[in-house]
Structure 1
Amino acid sequence: MTPEFHRPVRIDQIGEGEMRQHISADTDERRRLMGRFNLLELDSLEADYSLRRDAAGIVATGRLTAQVAQPCVASGEPVPESVDEAFTLRFLPEGSVEGSDVELDDDAMDTMFYTGASIDLGEAAAETLALALDPYPRSPHAEEALRAAGVLKEEEAGPMSALGGLKDLLKK
């Protein structure tokens, strides 16, 4: 299955030096990514890559920018967000290492596996966007919506408030 945002780069096009690549999602690709990531809006999605080979595979560094709106976790209202994320990725051939053989060190970077003779910069950008999004977007009305639903604030729901209820029961 082809990803929503497909920008393949053939491995044999990446020479000894550095290769630069700019990608941008079109309207249809952004619409499909909105569905995948449950976004209310995706007005732009662009990424600039600098690709180079190293002993293990291909290293991609760059910057991703996007304009999105997610639904508020409490009210469902749109929560606009500007994403501006620097990234470093390592592309490795599928099956080149076992999952437990990937060692993390001070220079650790996200690893993406590929099959065939190309890497997909569009899918890498989509996954980078997903990781950069606020996991709990809140609108200015979130507190009000939570209160109306009966959700207590952390300080109200702490262990002492539960003991306060017990104290009232013991007085009876």
Structure 2
Amino acid sequence: MKSNSDAGSRKAPRGDAHAPASEVPNLSRLVEVDNIPDAGLDISVRADAAERAAIAEANGLVAVESLEADLDVIKESAKKFRITGPLRARIVQTCVISLEPFESEIEAQVEADFQNFVEKAAPRARSARRAEAEAEPEPSFAAQLDAPDPVVNGRIDVGALVEEFLVLSLDPYPRKPGVQFEGAECPGAPDEPASPFAVLKKLKD
């Protein structure tokens, strides 16, 4: 079974090497933004056996047999970066109906924008900073969703990005191909109303 997905919307900043242990990604490939040339970078991410096992355990999968992505890191400006590229994975999930393990292939398109928000500016008086903060309106929820992820500590974790898009592409209710849910017939279903006499006869029988 093959799943094709663009992974929908996603907003989770990546690249923090000092994140709490519970938030440390199972797949990590750090890229220093200062080392990204103007022409950009081509990066191949291949998860090894230990990384795949950790991702499977964290997401309730039987196994992640392969996970790879070929990414283009595009330098749009000195502070803005765009990452795109195809993701491919082969996973083993448990069917929610038959409880049998089955293999699936996942294909998704990684797309994410990052921006380095760190500014080296002269220090300002506390009163000036407070006045500026009070004058700035709170960004809307939609604007926050559309905003780029921050570059943290001068790095982007493209491995964590690949893991994130894989997780977003997983079917939360996986069903093995060909397996059907056999529901019990219900007397009086909307498409075939049952008469009171028919119901009494079924109860008597």
* TM-score, normalised relative to structure 1: 0.75
Quote the residue 2:75 is aligned against. 53
Residue 113 (structure 2) pairs with residue 76 (structure 1): no
1:85 equivalent among 96, 108, 111: 108
Note closer, same or farther for the CA distance 1:130–1:83 as it changes in structure 2 (3 Å cut): same
Quote the residue 2:30 is aligned against. 8
Asked if the contact 1:73/1:136 (under 8 Å) is kept, the reply is yes
Residue 76 (structure 2) pairs with residue 39 (structure 1): no
Quote the residue 1:164 is aligned against. 193
How many equivalent pairs are there? 158
Deviation of residue 131 (structure 1)?
1.7
2: CA distance, partners of 1:91 / 1:114: 6
Task: For 1:61, give the aligned amino acid.
Answer: T
Task: For 2:93, give the aligned amino acid.
Answer: Q
Local SS of the residue matching 2:54:
helix
2:157 equivalent among 112, 120, 136: 120
Deviations 1:51-110 (A, max 9, x none): 012257210011111110111111221121111222221124589x95722475xxxxx9
Asked if the contact 1:70/1:137 (under 8 Å) is kept, the reply is yes
Note closer, same or farther for the CA distance 1:10–1:152 as it changes in structure 2 (3 Å cut): farther
Quote the residue 1:107 is aligned against. none
Local SS of the residue matching 1:20:
strand
Quote the residue 2:16 is aligned against. none
* TM-score, normalised relative to structure 2: 0.64
Question: For the pair shown, which has the larger CA radius of gyration, 1 or 2?
Answer: 2
Asked if the contact 2:116/2:154 (under 8 Å) is kept, the reply is no
Asked if the contact 1:51/1:61 (under 8 Å) is kept, the reply is yes
RMSD of Structure 2 on Structure 1 (CA)? 3.4
Note closer, same or farther for the CA distance 1:74–1:169 as it changes in structure 2 (3 Å cut): same
Deviation of residue 171 (structure 1)?
8.0
Give identity over the alignment, percent.
25
Asked if the contact 2:187/2:193 (under 8 Å) is kept, the reply is no
Asked if the contact 1:79/1:137 (under 8 Å) is kept, the reply is no
Note closer, same or farther for the CA distance 1:125–1:99 as it changes in structure 2 (3 Å cut): farther
1: CA distance, partners of 2:167 / 2:46: 16
Task: For 2:49, give the aligned amino acid.
Answer: T
